[in-house]
Structure 1
């Protein structure tokens, strides 16, 4: 929720009218995950929880706007939320599918202009956690590159072929995770700075330094607050820890989890 709402407000701060008229939030569920097996909740229930989250997101946006400007109960920011399903496990493939979709090309739902590439006007912003950033730059997802010298003979590396088009049309908005597993804010910022070095991590694994210009690092929850984790949420549901579940999920999502007795096994 913080990742989604903070993104919209940052866009509004840059250009309020354009942010509201041209932005949509896409909640995208991939039925094939690159690393994780499906968790014990049927896909129809997961879609229902996505719908519930969309409702909570829109309500949170309206409430925050009323708090800021003191407007009435029916006013506030309205952003359309889309629910999506795909079978693609990797971000660069998901991004390509979105860009090629007629729904997101040019004006939403309108047909392509013949001979015109409408996708150039649409920028995708992927909202990810710091742990996901680490995976995106893991070369195992793109194919082996043994040495930098090898790149001079083969041209683009497998990672460059995959992520070059991705970063041409997309940005990564990375929310830092300041917990024991991923270290503190300084360590996470240092990781990104290392990506930028001439002989840094990106070039060692076959990437391109200029991709870093398409990465925005933003602060997540304050240090000392509860870590938000789907693993913790499922555990809270399993042991029926209502207080913990309240910290992990939004109200409508909690209703679905409890009403459907999800994650009890």
Structure 2
């Protein structure tokens, strides 16, 4: 049902993307349009494609807090990632797959896009869109969090100074696969919560999905609706 629905919304989503392509932040889908959350959980990724690991990250982060701690969640894609070119699925196809993923949760979820690659700028854009302070909780993988604190993105401003305003309203939940370097953590002075994926999902990555042709393996890595969409769109030659 949901696959057919996102197919039917293709033109509508495309028009939203086209109309807002220069906006710093906007949404293509939301189940919480009627109110504005006070505490927002954000899963920022390339979603190329969304996998069971992505879903597990959101589930784990939600479960790490008391029930109803987060008012809503946001699946966020940056159209100008600081380290990646846009290959594979188009922005439209990612929007559709992210929308499919949102239906996996009994929890208010939106699909958002930003033109920013740096988290400092993403946070500012999201705050501006809400037009009032919102507590933002970003779920980041270990590779991403090391980039967040990498001085090269802020030169000549010191990292702590550059991130000071970010940590006034933003919090980090780090999801790692056991590759974390304790030396790195010893250098971090902000309180960062750490979670881990379920053991049977830790091996999953979008790259692995794109390289896999075996249908049984794909079923173990993808939600059935996502897999169906990929097959319908002939994405990644699956």
Task: State TM-score, norm by structure 1.
Answer: 0.64
Structure 1 match to 2:61: 7
Structure 1 match to 2:209: 233
Structure 1 match to 2:115: 87
**How large is the RMSD of aligned CA atoms in angstroms?**
2.1
Once the two structures are superposed, residues 151-186 of structure 1 have per-residue CA deviations (whole angstroms, 9 ceiling, x without a partner) of: xxxxxx3423431111111111001113xxx3xxxx
CA distance in 1, matches of 2:121, 2:202: 33
Structure 1 match to 2:193: 216
Structure 2 match to 1:46: 94
CA distance in 2, matches of 1:128, 1:168: 18
CA distance in 2, matches of 1:88, 1:226: 28
> 1:27 aligned to 2:75?
yes
Counting matched residue pairs gives: 184
The verdict on how the C-alpha distance between 1:193 and 1:44 changes in structure 2, with shifts beyond 3 A counting, is: closer
Structure 1 match to 2:230: 257
Q: Which has the higher strand share?
A: 2
> Aligned to 2:124, which of 75, 96, 105?
96
Q: Which has the higher helix share?
A: 1
Shift of 1:100: 1.4
CA distance in 1, matches of 2:111, 2:221: 21
Q: Secondary structure at the match of 2:187?
A: helix
> Aligned to 2:142, which of 107, 123, 130?
130
CA distance in 2, matches of 1:192, 1:256: 39
Higher relative CO (Cα under 8 Å, sequence separation at least 6) belongs to 2
Alignment check: 8 A CA contact 1:55 1:252 kept: no
> Aligned to 1:248, which of 201, 214, 221?
221
User: Which runs of 5 or more residues in structure 2 are unaligned?
Assistant: 1-54
Alignment check: 8 A CA contact 1:123 1:169 kept: yes
Task: State TM-score, norm by structure 2.
Answer: 0.71
